[in-house]
Amino acid sequence: MRRVLVAVLVVAMLLAAVGATALLLLSSSDGTNSSTSPSEVPTTTPEPSATRAPSPGLARFYTQRLDWSSCRDGDLCARLTVPLDYQHLDGRTIDLALLKVPAQDPAQRIGSLVVNSGGPGAPGTDYAAGASQAFGQPLLDRFDIVGFDPRGTGSSDPVDCLSNAQLDGYVAADPSPDTAAERATYAGILRTFGRGCVQRSGDLAAHVSTVEAARDMDVLRAALGESRLTYFGASYGTKLGATYADLFPHRAGRLVLDGAVDLSIGPRELALEQAGGFETALRAYVQDCVDHTDGCFLGSTLDEGLAKISSLLTRIDAQPLPTSSDRQLQIGNAFYGIALPLYDRQYWYVLSAALQQAMSGDGSTLLKLSDLYNSRDDSGGYGNNLIEALYAISCLDDPTAISPAQVPAELPAFEKVSPTFGDVFAWGLTTCDGWQVKSGARDRSVHAKGAPPIVVIGTTRDPATPMKWAVDLAHQLDSGVLIRRDGDGHTGYHAGNECVDRAVEGYLIDGTVPKDGLSC
């Protein structure tokens, strides 16, 4: 759902900002088989051919040296130069921001683990900088964790589409307009967004596709001196990783795709299934309150709890709530505020506190959660360009959209799978109606023929990337290996399941391929 929740990204570090404890480092348990020996899976040992370019025109990019320097809290930063347009290699170049957290046990170092946390649009440098929260100690010991801000995001020539005030309006606006005035406002915002990307970003707006970012990753692999790419991608990062494996199957090494996106489906099916995913997560949250909380504030049954949340959203839509700041909680903010804690079961208690406060007439905590989701600070600025990059990358990959007049016909199907969120996801199908540029790099189905085993992880009650997507992606990839995590929240690794952790760490470190269909 591109208007609101196509931002399928890892949010544990955002949630930590509301005062929650850091994720625990997890020990290992059984969950893999060793039918494939480590020698059968490519290692990351550099070879002389690592910097060999696919074409002569790319040689200057593939042979560049990275100039690492100290940055942030003792990490290392560098810039990687890539062509803006891979069809015109002598033209403009752009620089990508890199951040490396060196392996903590240098004597046992294997190589570089390139990571991407999703979005599309989340800064990968932030993900790497928070590696101690996102990855287990075995990976921190053995790999340099390398994050990069994909083209058009973070500090990598970020795409710009709207002013901060316009972004505030975009986030707060009703994501499912139900009056003529709201529909006119909604359509105007989308037109402004589409025009703004071209006016404020120029040629860059046409060159932030996933395919181009995947080509950048191969330049990064070469600059790191790796003969094959070792990669961990979460959420949208799975789309990026799968695209890389399809473009460069013989350069793919050990790839883990966690919280998988199904690249074979179009925007309508993606939105429909994601709507169902968020409904499933919300139902799990409400049921947990009913079953395990004495006097659950949502009521004594699942249906009663869901009805109370829907009623709250209806009231906010009609009359925004006051907050402790000079801003009101509008319906768009309320939707983001509810969505964010559903990404991680550990933060359901934050959602409960926010809902109880809102039901008492104060929208402060839901507004704070909305701001965290969208990287907005208290001064009215945005810490990164996630919202704009998400829009630009998504619409460049696939500009398919329906007109607002077509939405009513879609509502019954969406409301059937998600009575709470369905209308929002149905309206999300109009998002790219205002997009104004096209890319020669098209979105594509993937098979990665010739690639080594690619581990794909799905979680049964994942709100943002339904389990079905992981099953489908693992089947589409010629060498896909599926891991099922039975649990709540978004993504499966380092989420409290030792079976998943052992499988992932055994694969990345030793090359031990998990049993296909492993259930954790």
Which residues are part of the catalytic machinery? 235, 462, 490
Distances (CA, A) of 130 to 17, 300, 383, 408: 13, 39, 16, 43
E strand or H helix that includes residue 353: helix 348-359
Return the amino acid letter for 408: P
Query: What residues are paired with 321 via a beta bridge?
Result: 329
User: Residue for token digits 């049964």?
Assistant: 460
N residues, the chain: 520
- Contacts for 315 with CB less than 8 Å, ≥ 6 apart: none
Tokens of 278: 């968020």
What radius of gyration, in Å, describes the C-alpha atoms of the chain? 22
Max CA distance (Å), the chain: 69
Exposure pattern of 307-316 as b/e (b: 16+ CB <10 Å)?
A: bbbeebbebb
Q: Is the backbone of residue 259 left (phi > 0), alpha (psi -120 to 50) or beta?
A: left
Q: Are strands 454-461 and 328-329 parallel, antiparallel or unpaired?
A: unpaired
What phi, psi does 80 have (nearest 5°)? -115, 125
Cα–Cα distance, 206 to 88 (Å, whole number): 13
